[in-house]
Amino acid sequence: MAEAPFAVLGLYPTAQALTDAVPKLKLAGFDGLEAYTPYPIHRLDEVLGLKKTPLGFLVLGMGLVGTASALGLEWFADAVDYPFIVGGKALFSWQAFVPVMFEVTVLFATFTAGLAMLFVLNKLPFFGHPVLASKSIAAITCDRFALSIERGEGGEKPIDVAAARRALEATGAESVEVVGDPAAADTTGAYAPFTPRDAVKAALMIAVACAVAGAGMYAAVKVVLTVPPITHIQNQPKLNAQRASTFFADGSGMRLPVAGTVARGHLPYPFKSPEEAEAALANPLPRTAAVLEKGRREYADHCGVCHGSIGNGEPSLSSAYGGKPANLVSATFRGYSDARLYHVITVGKNAMPSYAADLAEDERWAVVHYLRALQRSQNARDEDVR
Amino acid sequence: MSATGSAGKLLGAAALVGLCGAAATYLVETPTRFWTNYLIWFLFLLTVGLGTLFMVALEYLVGSVWSVPVRRVPERLASFTLVAGPLALFGLLSLKVIYPWTQAGAAANPVLAGKAVWLNVPFFAARVVLCLCLWAASYWLLVGGSFKQDQTRDPAITVRSKRFAPFFMAIFAYSVTVVAFDWISSLEPEWYSDIFGVYLFAGSFIAGLAASVLALFYLVGKGRLREVRSDHYYNLGGLLFGFTIFWSYIGFAQYMLIWYANMPEEVSWYRLRVQGDWAPVALILAAVHFVIPFFALVSSRAKNDPTRLKRVAVLALFAHLLDLYWMVYPTLGRGPMPGWPELSFALLFLGGGLLWARQSMGHGADLPVGDPFLKQGLEFRL
């Protein structure tokens, strides 16, 4: 037995005409109405009596999930996992988190709207819908509004084609087409559904297009942009650290100091123990504002991360850093001589690395002066305030 | 329509009681308290007027047709910009009382001395008068023209309004900024925020929209404006929803930047308003100006549900009032709890304002019958 046609479809000239036709058709006893329009028509779903779309709730729900995820991530990262004070703000500063929360909300919401609409509600990927193969589809995607009386999902309700045609025409349809008519399909070939095979073909074509585009991009960047005269971007007379170089005879880009020379401020340091250093060294710098300022700068750059900005051994990083930095303002170190402090900076101690490579000699001595200032500031006497 | 009838009498009585209370505030309490309350309510009526005038001009500017059938409502409410005229002139008397830059020590303060070019009484008064003239002229051109069109049916008036609309936007941007900087932000003249004018604009537009929604449903309840359909409601609801978010965006942008930079002269304004006594008010403001209306209007069905729209509109007007209260009142140095003077002012201005709004609903025809786009606007569908 021949299958019944999928639908009888009428084309209306305006959205208004379509909306007006719906109740009349319903009154005439046709249900299973579907509309196909070039653009969304507000409230058409209500008129057609379609199920209320859950999209709004999905979007709102996922948007709120986005808000919560962003807040959770920022809270965990900034206040729990890596507590680090930025700009003097509290670890959990919701004010600073809001822009990210806002962006992630929008991200989640828009992705949900797009993807849920396509894949959940519109059931993509789907292989062919009879209306896509109709003759009317060209008009529907341009400027006509279609209303179709459909067989329904399981085909349980065969359509009375003649009655449907009459009803559509009576409500103002300009033209009426019988869609998915198996009898007509053989003769006209109008009914050509999109099959899984077509999907594979399309996927292959997309893959080829991607490959071509990728190769094109690669060629553009790597070949076209580097043909003369643009090659100067790549070929610059420069040496990269730890890279080979053909410029020097030994093939190495990095140079050793000339034999027998020392860098300014980095004289070889002969003392093995603090006692040796104390016997030989004294702070050569005067205690001037300029020296203290230099010491303050170097201390902040090199020492504060571990010893804390006031030298008490409790920096903001202490929980993340395993070692126990010394409390430099304690009585022990107030008792240290300048030379002994200098010695620690130069050779390091246990978990504390040597700063000989980072600080020149006068910088180290300046830090020592500054340490004294810190010690004094944390152990001020009454006279100091007068 | 006359303002008689029992509701009218009630409003009149409320205004009268409020007037006595306001006078008592001046005599029994302090003049500062009187003027601070006065300023809040003057700004409330003014911003409703400006917001509705902006709605009218916006329609001409962007050439929207859906709003033509409802335009008479904001046009009538825009008359609050005219009411604001005498109120502003009377308000000039407050300059010597509540504005620090008029006080004796101001010249010694280097910041105020630097701003004295702008913040001095004659120039302030000149700006007020200039703004009033600009608003009156705009009202006369846009709203007056529209009323005249009821009789003449002359499409040239629409053309003139469309030509004028872009200029109005410039006038509006200038005058709203001046209102925000002069009347509000100069209460703490050492503070400044570039975005403050936009913040006030966002609040004003919401106030204008909310007032229009309420007036529209007031007329619909009286059996008038039946031609306006749910499609029109939907757009009003959409605008209200959108500008709720806009206000929050601007408000938060201003707050976050100031909080982040943490500059003493900027952050003092917020210290006063989001910490201590005023912290609960700031939270309530965020709830009623953003969170509640946002969730109340987010669904598409809510945007043309008359009951929902009316409730949100009442809430939005309250939120705008609270916003003004929160901006202005802390400078008084009192906590946020209102007392009898605040209630008196509320009675006076709500009673008076509603009376004015009620009688303004009789101006002209309910639909702008002379507008060439009216038919299209009535046929508007989403």
| Residue A318 pLDDT > 90 | no
Q: For residues A362-374, b (16+ Cβ closer than 10 Å) or e, as one string?
A: bbbbbbbbbbbeb
The domain total for chain B is 1
| Residue B380 pLDDT > 70 | yes
Lowest-pLDDT range of A254-263, B10-19, B60-69, B317-326: A254-263
Who contacts B43 (Cβ-Cβ below 8 Å, separation ≥6)?
B179, B183, B184, B324, B328
Min Cα separation A166/chain B (Å): 28
For the domain bounded by A274-379, which CATH number is listed?
1.10.760.10
In a domain, B2, yes or no: no
The answer to whether the CB of B299 falls within 8 A of the CB of B277 is no
Which chain B residues contact residue A60 at CB under 8 A?
298
Q: Closest Cα to residue B154, out of B365, B371, B366, B368?
A: B371
The Cα B209–Cα B52 span in angstroms is 7
pLDDT at A294: 95
Pick the residue with more confidence: B317 or B110? B317
Which chain A residues contact residue B252 at CB under 8 A?
98
For A56, the closest of B234, B259, B300 (CB atoms) is B300
Q: Is the pTM of this model over 0.80?
A: no
Residue pairs spanning A and B at CB distance below 8 A: 25
Lowest-pLDDT range of A311-325, B304-318, B360-374: A311-325
In a domain, B75, yes or no: yes
pLDDT digit string, tens, across residues B49-105: 999 999 999 999 999 999 999 999 999 999 999 999 999 999 999 999 999 999 988
Could you tell me the residue range of the domain that residue B105 belongs to? 8-378
| Residue A234 pLDDT > 80 | no
B257 touches chain A (CB under 8 A): no
Min Cα separation A29/chain B (Å): 27
* Contact criterion met (CB < 8 Å) for B382 and A43: yes
- Mean pLDDT on A295-307: 93
Who contacts A289 (Cβ-Cβ below 8 Å, separation ≥6)?
none
Residue of A nearest to B300 (CA): A56
In a domain, B271, yes or no: yes
pLDDT at A154: 52
**Chain position carrying tokens 């709500």:** B350
pLDDT at A317: 66
In a domain, B358, yes or no: yes
For A60, the closest of B256, B298, B382 (CB atoms) is B298
- Mean pLDDT on B339-347: 95
* Contact criterion met (CB < 8 Å) for A42 and B298: no
Lowest-pLDDT range of A81-95, A225-239, A290-304, B348-362: A225-239
In a domain, B1, yes or no: no
Lowest-pLDDT range of A35-39, A134-138, B7-11, B25-29: A134-138
B253 touches chain A (CB under 8 A): no
* Contact criterion met (CB < 8 Å) for A98 and B231: no
Min Cα separation B325/chain A (Å): 23
Residues β-bridged to residue A12: A145
Which chain A residues contact residue B382 at CB under 8 A?
41-43
pLDDT digit string, tens, across residues B346-365: 999 999 999 999 999 999 89
| Residue A182 pLDDT > 70 | no
- 8-state DSSP, A237: S
B226 touches chain A (CB under 8 A): no
* Contact criterion met (CB < 8 Å) for B255 and A56: no
> CA B200 → CA B66, B183, B327, B356, distances in Å?
26, 11, 10, 23
Q: Best interface-test mutation with B: which of A43, A50, A57 has the largest number of B CBs within 10 A?
A: A43
The answer to whether the CB of B28 falls within 8 A of the CB of B358 is no
| Residue B19 pLDDT > 80 | yes
CB atoms within 10 A of CB B287: 13
* Contact criterion met (CB < 8 Å) for A42 and B260: no
| Residue A348 pLDDT > 90 | yes
The Cα A47–Cα A64 span in angstroms is 31
The Cα A357–Cα A365 span in angstroms is 14
- Mean pLDDT on B199-224: 96
* Average pLDDT for chain A: 86
The answer to whether the CB of B143 falls within 8 A of the CB of B77 is no
B376 touches chain A (CB under 8 A): no
In a domain, B318, yes or no: yes
pLDDT at A321: 63
Which chain B residues contact residue A92 at CB under 8 A?
none
Residues β-bridged to residue A10: A147, A176
* Contact criterion met (CB < 8 Å) for B260 and A87: yes
- Mean pLDDT on A34-46: 87
| Reported confidence tier of residue A187, pLDDT bands at 50, 70, 90 | very low
Helices and strands of chain B, counted as H and E runs = 17, 0
In a domain, B3, yes or no: no
What token pair was written down for B375? 């038919």
Backbone angles phi, psi at B96, to 5 degrees: -70, -15
pLDDT at A192: 57
pLDDT digit string, tens, across residues A99-119: 999 999 999 999 999 999 888
Q: Best interface-test mutation with A: which of B66, B245, B246, B252 has the largest number of A CBs within 10 A?
A: B252
Which chain B residues contact residue A96 at CB under 8 A?
256, 260
Who contacts B61 (Cβ-Cβ below 8 Å, separation ≥6)?
B162, B165, B166, B168, B169
In a domain, B253, yes or no: yes
Backbone angles phi, psi at A5, to 5 degrees: -65, 155
pLDDT at A190: 46
For A16, the closest of B255, B298, B381 (CB atoms) is B381
| Residue A188 pLDDT > 60 | no
Q: Best interface-test mutation with A: which of B233, B259, B263, B378 has the largest number of A CBs within 10 A?
A: B259
Q: Best interface-test mutation with A: which of B301, B376, B379 has the largest number of A CBs within 10 A?
A: B301
* Contact criterion met (CB < 8 Å) for B231 and A42: yes
Residue of A nearest to B259 (CA): A95
Which chain A residues contact residue B299 at CB under 8 A?
56
* Contact criterion met (CB < 8 Å) for B256 and A96: yes
* Contact criterion met (CB < 8 Å) for A16 and B299: no
The Cα A56–Cα A112 span in angstroms is 10
Q: Best interface-test mutation with B: which of A50, A67, A95 has the largest number of B CBs within 10 A?
A: A95
Question: Residue type at A73?
Answer: L
The Cα B193–Cα B211 span in angstroms is 28
Backbone angles phi, psi at A220, to 5 degrees: -60, -45
> CA B110 → CA B101, B114, B116, distances in Å?
11, 6, 10
The Cα B276–Cα B271 span in angstroms is 8
Residue of A nearest to B382 (CA): A42
Assign A9 to helix, strand or coil: strand
* Contact criterion met (CB < 8 Å) for B231 and A60: no
- Mean pLDDT on A253-280: 89
Which chain A residues contact residue B298 at CB under 8 A?
56, 60
* Contact criterion met (CB < 8 Å) for A87 and B255: no
For the four alpha carbons of B150, B152, B155 and B161, in that order, the dihedral sign comes to: negative
Residue A229: asked if its preceding bond is cis (omega within 30°), the reply is: yes
